[in-house]
Amino acid sequence: MDEFLIAVDAEDRPLHAVEKMNAHREGILHRAFSIFLFDTQGRVLLQQRALGKYHSPGLWSNSCCGHPRPGEDTGAAALRRLHEELGLRCALQPVTAFLYREAVSEELVEHEYDHVFVGIAHGLPQPDPGEVREWRWLALPELHRELARAPAHFTIWLHRIAERFGPEGLGAWRERALTAH
Domain that holds residue 19: 4-180
For residue 30, say whether it is annotated as part of any ligand binding site: yes
Catalytic residue among 65, 90, 102, 131: 65
For residue 112, say whether it is annotated as part of any ligand binding site: yes
pLDDT mean by block of 10 residues, the chain; 181 residues: 92 97 96 97 96 94 97 98 97 96 92 97 95 96 95 95 94 91 72
Quote the DSSP letter at residue 154.
B
Q: Is there a catalytic annotation at residue 112?
A: yes
The whole-number pLDDT of residue 1 equals: 64
For residue 55, say whether it is annotated as part of any ligand binding site: no
The whole-number pLDDT of residue 43 equals: 95
- What one-character-per-residue DSSP string does 64-75 give? EEE-PPTT--HH
Task: Read off the CATH number of the domain in which 96 is found.
Answer: 3.90.79.10
Closest to 48 measured CA to CA, from 155, 159, 171: 155
Residue pair 99/112 in contact by the 8 Å Cβ criterion: yes
The whole-number pLDDT of residue 144 equals: 93
When divided into structural domains, the chain yields a total of 1
Q: Is 47 helix (H, G, I), strand (E, B) or coil?
A: strand
- The whole-angstrom separation of Cα 98 and Cα 102 is 13
